[in-house]
Amino acid sequence: MIGWVADHRRHHAFSDRDGDPHSPWLFGTSPVALARGFWHAHMGWLFGRDKTNVDRFAPDLAADRDLRVVDRLFPLWVVLSLLLPAVLGGLLTLSWWGALTAFLWAGLARISFQHHVTWSVNSICHMIGERPFASRDRSANFWPLAILSMGESWHNTHHADPTSARHGVLRGQLDVSARVIWAFEKLGWAWNVRWPTAKRLAALAR
Ligand SMILES: [Zn+2]
Ligand SMILES: [Zn+2]
C-alpha cells in the first residue's frame, strides 16, 4: 500500500517522461512501440525490477506507525478478501458449491476485473481520450471507464489538478469517488478536502 503511493507520486512527478514507472510512451510512438508501451503501462511494469524508493516518495507514510501496520498486513487483507466472499456464499446457500462459486466470482474474478480497470487508467487513460485541461503529459479523460473506475478515468483533469478531490468536473461527468469523499467530509472523517473552484478550472482549461 505504501509502495503504491510511492509509485503513484513518482508517476505524477515524471508523468510520461523518463522516470515514470508506467508510461505507455516509454518506447516511442510507432505502432509496435505503442503496443509494447500499452502492455508495459497496463501491467508489464509490475514485473520489472524498477522499484520506487519509498523513503524518497512516501516518507510521510513510512513514518506513520498505523499505516506501516496496515501495509505489513497486506497478505492478510488479500486472504480475507478472497475468504470472506467464499464463507458468505457458503453460509447463504448452505452449500460447498455456493462457497466455490462465490470464491470464483466475488473473489478471483472481482479482484482481477477491478485490477484491469485500475491498470486501464495507467494505460488507456494516458493514450486515448479528451484533454480539456493543461497537463504536462499525455493523460486523457476516457468516458467509457467513468463508472467502472468510479471517476478515476477523468484522468486528464486529475493530472492537471492532482490535489482536487473531484476528477469529473465538467457537466455530466460522473465521479463516484468524489461523492464518497464528500460523504466522508460530512461525517467528519475527512477534512481539509480540496474541491475544484470555477476560477481554478478556468485557469487550467486549454
Ligand atoms: Zn496518470
Ligand atoms: Zn494521481
Dihedral sign, Cα of residue 84, residue 89, residue 90, residue 92: positive
**Residue 19 in contact with residue 56, Cβ under 8 Å?**
no
**Residue 58, Cα to own-chain centre: how many angstroms?**
17
What is the sign, positive or negative, of the torsion defined by CA atoms of 83, 88, 89, 95? positive
Q: CA-CA distance, 154 to 145, in Å (whole number)?
A: 9
Task: For residue 167, give Cα distances in angstroms to 39, 88, 125, 200.
Answer: 25, 34, 13, 13
Which bound ligand lies closest to the C-alpha atom of 177?
A: 2
Decide if 117 contacts 148 (C-beta within 8 A). yes
162 CA to middle of ligand 2, Å?
6
Give the ligand with the smallest distance to the CA of 119: 1
Kindly state the average pLDDT of the residues 156-175.
Answer: 97
pTM: 0.92
Q: CA distances (Å), 20 to each of 61, 78, 121, in order?
A: 20, 27, 14
Residue 119 C-alpha to ligand 2 middle, in angstroms? 13
Q: Check: CB of residue 121 under 8 Å from CB of residue 149.
A: yes
CA of 20 to the centre of ligand 1 (A): 9
56-85 per-position pLDDT tens digit: 999 999 999 999 999 999 999 999 999 999
Sign of the four-CA dihedral 94, 79, 45, 162: positive
- Tell me: pLDDT of 86 over 90: yes
- At residue 132, does pLDDT exceed 90? yes
Distance (angstroms) between ligand 2 centre and the Cα of 7 equals 10
Q: What's the CA gap between 23 and 11, in Å, rounded?
A: 8
Q: What is the 3-state secondary structure (H, E, C) of 93-107?
A: HCCHHHHHHHHHHHH
Whole-number pLDDT of residue 206? 86
Distances in whole angstroms, Cα of residue 179 to Cα of each of 137, 143, 168? 27, 17, 11
Ligand 1 center from residue 186 Cα (angstroms): 28
The CA 106 to ligand 2 mean position distance, Å, reads 27
CA–CA separation, 8 and 23 (whole Å): 12
Centre of ligand 1 to C-alpha 22, Å, is 8
Convert the pLDDT of each residue in 89-124 to its tens digit.
Answer: 999 999 999 999 999 999 999 999 999 999 999 999
